[in-house]
């Protein structure tokens, strides 16, 4: 079964840090372009970062609201994709989804990040 | 950034009737070198992650019922549900994957009348 499972969410204070993890199974992880997409409570979808497969150059891209604060990384040996979040702001509160592809064809269930004092 | 807009914000359609959802991009998402529109549609039901329905503006994903169809080119796109079923109640998002940032529209909520 093709699956993505996120973990690592929680409550963090403004200015704090958090690392989200995503494990993939049922597909060739090393060939997949991996993305993070977030959804604030009751709001729409926002793409925030991508790590292309090594075969496609391993290019990393970010959306402007998170560039310089968030970092994506991957470990293909254990099918893991990460989002390292620093200098968190209240507006980063959201459900964070891990997704695959140039279009987002596989999605996890998401992990909730709440930034609050 | 390419701004995606969707209309209407919400619509209620009787079971078995047609639903027409619109999506507009602030600049063309048609890539001339391959003649493809870099436009996708997603369905999100309450409490669930989004599900990819259509990519390349009109290519339905495997397993998606054929009552869902996508059309359009350049900057104007449409998702049509030909005969609305109860299980189609959801929010539908369009998204461009033409250029970074890969932006979504604000969504259209579909309900049963």
Q: What is the pLDDT of residues B67-77, one digit of tens each?
A: 999 999 999 99
User: Can you give the pLDDT at residue B84?
Assistant: 98
Tell me if chain A has a CB within 8 Å of the CB of B64: no
Q: How far is A78 from chain B (nearest CA, A)?
A: 24
Cα A112 to Cα B34: distance, rounded to the nearest angstrom: 38
- Rg for chain A, CA atoms, rounded: 13
User: Can you give the pLDDT at residue A96?
Assistant: 98
Tell me if chain B has a CB within 8 Å of the CB of A76: no
A112 within 8 A of A7, measured Cβ to Cβ = no
In this structure, how many other beta carbons lie within 10 angstroms of the beta carbon of residue A89?
13
* Mutation to test the A interface, candidates B102, B105, B106, B108, most A Cβ within 10 Å: B102
Q: What is the pLDDT of residues B92-102, one digit of tens each?
A: 999 999 999 99
Cα A56 to Cα A27: distance, rounded to the nearest angstrom: 17
The two tokens of residue B3 are 């701004």
* Mutation to test the B interface, candidates A36, A44, A96, most B Cβ within 10 Å: A44
Among A4, A12, A8, which Cα is nearest to A92's?
Answer: A12
B51 to A108: CB separation less than 8 angstroms, yes or no: no
B21 within 8 A of B6, measured Cβ to Cβ = yes
A104 to B42: CB separation less than 8 angstroms, yes or no: yes
At B34, phi and psi to the nearest 5?
A: -125, 0
User: Can you give the pLDDT at residue B11?
Assistant: 97
* Mutation to test the B interface, candidates A2, A6, A45, most B Cβ within 10 Å: A45
User: Can you give the pLDDT at residue B32?
Assistant: 93
Residues in chain A with CB shorter than 8 Å from the CB of B52 are 103-105
Of B49, B51, B101, the CB nearest to A64: B101
B107 to A104: CB separation less than 8 angstroms, yes or no: no
Write out residues in chain A with pLDDT < 50, as ranges: none
Among B58, B54, B63, B6, which Cα is nearest to A103's?
Answer: B54
Q: What is the pLDDT of residues B32-82, one digit of tens each?
A: 999 999 999 999 999 999 999 999 999 999 999 999 999 999 999 999 999
Mean predicted lDDT score pLDDT of chain B: 98
Residues in chain B with CB shorter than 8 Å from the CB of A42 are none
Residues A42-45: contacts with CB under 8 Å, at least 24 apart: A43/A94, A44/B93, A44/B104, A44/B105, A44/B106, A44/B107, A45/B42, A45/B44, A45/B50, A45/B93, A45/B95, A45/B104, A45/B107
């Amino acid at each position: 079964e093709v699956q993505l499972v996120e973990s690592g969410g929680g409550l963090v204070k403004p200015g704090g840090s958090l690392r989200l993890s995503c494990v993939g199974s049922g597909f060739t992880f090393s060939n997949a372009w991996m993305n993070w997409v977030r959804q604030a409570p009751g709001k729409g979808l926002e793409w925030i970062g991508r790590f292309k497969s090594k075969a496609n150059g391993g290019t990393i891209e970010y959306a402007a609201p998170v560039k310089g604060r968030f970092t994506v990384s991957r470990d293909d040996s254990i099918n893991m994709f990460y989002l390292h979040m620093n200098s968190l702001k209240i507006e980063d509160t959201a459900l964070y989804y891990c997704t695959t592809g140039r279009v987002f064809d596989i999605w996890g269930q998401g992990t909730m990040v709440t930034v609050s004092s | 950034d390419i701004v995606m807009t969707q209309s209407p914000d919400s619509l209620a359609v009787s079971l078995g009737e047609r639903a027409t959802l619109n999506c507009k991009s602030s600049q063309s998402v048609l890539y001339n070198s391959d003649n493809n529109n870099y436009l996708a549609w997603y369905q999100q039901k309450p409490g669930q992650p989004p599900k990819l329905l259509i990519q390349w503006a009109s290519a339905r994903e495997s397993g998606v019922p054929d009552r869902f169809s996508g059309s359009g080119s350049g900057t104007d796109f449409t998702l049509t549900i030909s005969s609305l079923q109860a299980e189609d109640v959801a929010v539908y998002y369009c998204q461009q994957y033409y250029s970074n940032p890969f932006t979504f529209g604000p969504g259209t909520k579909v309900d049963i009348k």
